[in-house]
Chains A and B, each alone.
Chain A
Amino acid sequence: MALRETLNKMKEYAEERAFILENPGEIIEDWTGSLEDLFSETKGFLQSYLDDGLMNIVEYQVEKKEDILGDYTCPAALIYVPSESIKINMRPVERLVAGSAGRVDLYREDVHMQDRMFRILRQRPPKLEERSRKWHIQDLPSGLGALTGELGELAGGLGAPARNLRGYREFNQRSLEQSIEFLVNL
Chain B
Amino acid sequence: MAADSIKDELNDAFARMRALRIVLQRARNQATQDPVSERNIELGAVERGDTKSEAREKIEKLFADLVFIAEHLQILHLTATFEAICQRHIPNIIGEARTSVRGKEGSAWKESLVQEKGQFEGLGGISKLLRLGGKDDVLYRRIKSSRDSFAHGQIWREHPTIDPEDTLALLLDLIEHLRSP
Contact = CB atoms under 8 A, between A and B. Distances in A.
Nearest to A159: B42
Contacts, number: 66
B35 A98 contact: yes
A99 B43 contact: no
Given A13-B37, A98-B35, A98-B37, A103 B44 contact: no
Interface size range of chain A in the complex: 20 to 34
B50 interface: yes
A94 interface: yes
Contacts of A99: 36, 38, 41, 46, 48-49
Q: Majority SS of interface residues in chain B?
A: loop
Contact of B49 (A13, A98, A162, A163): A98
Interface in A120-179: 121, 154-159, 161-163, 165, 168
A28 interface: no
A32 interface: no
A87 interface: no
A67 B33 CA distance: 13
Interface in B82-103: none
Given A98-B55, A162-B43, A157 B48 contact: yes
B41 A67 contact: no
Contact of B51 (A97, A159, A162, A163): A97
A162 B42 CA distance: 8
Interface of A: 9, 13, 17, 67, 93-94, 96-100, 103, 119, 121, 154-159, 161-163, 165, 168
Interface of B: 34-38, 40-44, 46-52, 55
16 contacts: A67-B52, A94-B52, A97-B52, A98-B35, A98-B47, A99-B36, A99-B48, A100-B48, A103-B51, A121-B48, A155-B48, A156-B41, A156-B47, A162-B43, A163-B44, A163-B47
